Amino acid sequence: MSNESGYWLTGEVFVEQPLAQLWAHWHQKVEHYGFEQALESGWIEVAAQGKAIELRADSLLAIGQQWRFWLPEHQEGPVSSRWQTLWQHHEVMAVHKPANLPVSRTTRNLFDTLIGRVRRESPYDDAHLLHRLDAETSGITLLALESHYDRKWKKKLDRLMTSKRYLALVDGVPSWQQQELECWLAERSDSAIRSRVHCIAGQADQPPDGAQWIKPKWARTGFTVLASNNGQSLIECRLYSGRRHQIRTQLAWLGHPIVGDKIYSHDGAFYLQRLERDLDDADYQTLGANHHLLHAWQLQLNLYGEAYAVTDTNLSDQWPEWVHKAVRSADFLTADR
């Protein structure tokens, strides 16, 4: 079957249920063939402790078993799938999202997403995203464990998430140690990169003039230079608002784009080039990394008057070793900034 075009959808059993029921749940919007045809074709496999189980149409799945379903002709874009739970409450949980894993479905990935994998690889098959990270951004992502808690906390996110801090590796060494930037962020109708967000100076009560600006929103971020090495700087970014591409846009506007950023470094040349062809090793060497080096590393929460702090030090191998060492050090983790 490895020579056929298709995709193995995988997961774990957390609730005893009929095999046909689980199969139907994951196929209801994907394929048009029937359960029995899939079973007869060898497109359904279940294992317990690494050993394959003989399956029948009336098989009952047991907790702890591993399943995989073959989806003929279906394709998913390559992703990094190593998510993990960082902290958990009975209503919400914080997980580590690796870089290059989209949080939810895209044109290239229907199943291989953070929320899809959490629903298949944990007991929380009704989990929901409470906020989002860009696909290339790694770090802490907060999820509601079921739809009831999703509806409850999405209305109160500002009270739930009291502080969000990111780490960014940028090109250059800033002339400042600390910087707080407030500006308008908006897309431009005449931009060659439609998804690119632009930083516009101004006052909070005076949106920018001009028909070219699309839905301008006020944004505020605090930046602190933590260390510099070999012409690059590690910056902590504290979000006071949560706009799309906020940190990436503002750092580029300050003259220090994030390493590996295809949109905001090199004037977007590599983003446009990727529309024509895949980037090669020389391109990534120029960019400095295979994904942009932005990581959601600290989150402070307030649930029912109780304060919780979550830290994620799981950086990819694209970050230089000196940053890994700094982030793992006790002084770095306990520093009061």
Does one domain contain both 177 and 243?
yes
Does one domain contain both 275 and 177?
yes
Q: Is residue 308 part of a domain?
A: no
Q: What's the whole-number mean pLDDT along residues 311-329?
A: 94
For residues 300 and 217, what is the distance between their CA atoms, to the nearest angstrom? Answer: 24
Does one domain contain both 97 and 200?
no
Single residue among 72, 91, 112 that ends a domain in this structure:
72
**Is the pLDDT reported for residue 272 higher than 70?**
yes
> Among the ranges 162-166, 208-212, 330-334, which has the highest mean pLDDT value?
162-166
Does one domain contain both 284 and 203?
yes
Q: Is residue 92 part of a domain?
A: yes
**Phi, psi (deg, nearest 5) at residue 225:** -75, 120
**Is the pLDDT reported for residue 30 higher than 70?**
no
Q: Is residue 326 part of a domain?
A: no
User: pLDDT grade, residue 240 (50/70/90)?
Assistant: very high
CATH label of the domain that carries residue 231: 3.30.2350.10
Q: Which two tokens stand for residue 140?
A: 């802490």
Does one domain contain both 84 and 144?
yes
Does one domain contain both 144 and 195?
no
Q: Is residue 310 part of a domain?
A: no
- Quick one: pLDDT at residue 60? 97
Q: What is the mean pLDDT of the chain?
A: 93
Single residue among 129, 155, 181 that ends a domain in this structure:
155
Q: What's the whole-number mean pLDDT along residues 244-248?
A: 97
| Cα separations in angstroms, 301 against 41, 89, 306, 332 | 49, 11, 8, 20
178-191 tens-digit pLDDT: 999 999 999 999 99
Q: What's the whole-number mean pLDDT along residues 236-249?
A: 96
Q: Is residue 334 part of a domain?
A: no
- The 3 state secondary structure assigned to the chain is CCCCCEEEEEEECCCCEEHHHHHHHHHCCCCCCCHHHHHHCCCEEEEECCEECCCCCCCEECCCCEEEEEEECCCCCCCCCCCEEEEECCCEEEEEECCCCCCCCCCCCCCCCHHHHHHHHCCCCCCEECCCCCCCCEEEEEEECCHHHHHHHHCCHHHHEEEEEEEEEEECCCCCCEEEEEEEEEEECCCCCCCCEEEECCCCCCCCCCCCEEEEEEEEEEEEEEEEECCEEEEEEEECCCCCCHHHHHHHHCCCCECCCCCCCHHHHHHHHHHHCCCCHHHHHHHCCCCCCEEEEEEEEEECCEEEEEECCCCCCCCCHHHHHHHHCHHHHHCCC
Q: Is residue 327 part of a domain?
A: no
- Quick one: pLDDT at residue 265? 96
- Quick one: pLDDT at residue 162? 96
- Quick one: pLDDT at residue 336? 67
254-266 tens-digit pLDDT: 999 999 999 999 9
**Is the pLDDT reported for residue 40 higher than 60?**
yes
Single residue among 116, 132, 155 that ends a domain in this structure:
155
pTM: 0.93
Does one domain contain both 276 and 197?
yes
**Is the pLDDT reported for residue 175 higher than 60?**
yes
Does one domain contain both 19 and 51?
yes
Q: Are strands 128-129 and 138-144 parallel, antiparallel or unpaired?
A: antiparallel
Q: What's the whole-number mean pLDDT along residues 88-92?
A: 97
% of the chain exceeding 90 in pLDDT:
85
Q: How many domains does the chain have?
A: 3
Structural domain for 255, as ranges: 167-294
Determine the residue type at 220.
R
- Considering only CA atoms, give the Rg of the chain: 22
User: pLDDT grade, residue 245 (50/70/90)?
Assistant: very high
User: pLDDT grade, residue 1 (50/70/90)?
Assistant: low
Q: Is residue 181 part of a domain?
A: yes
Q: Is residue 182 part of a domain?
A: yes
Determine the residue type at 9.
L
113-122 tens-digit pLDDT: 999 999 999 9
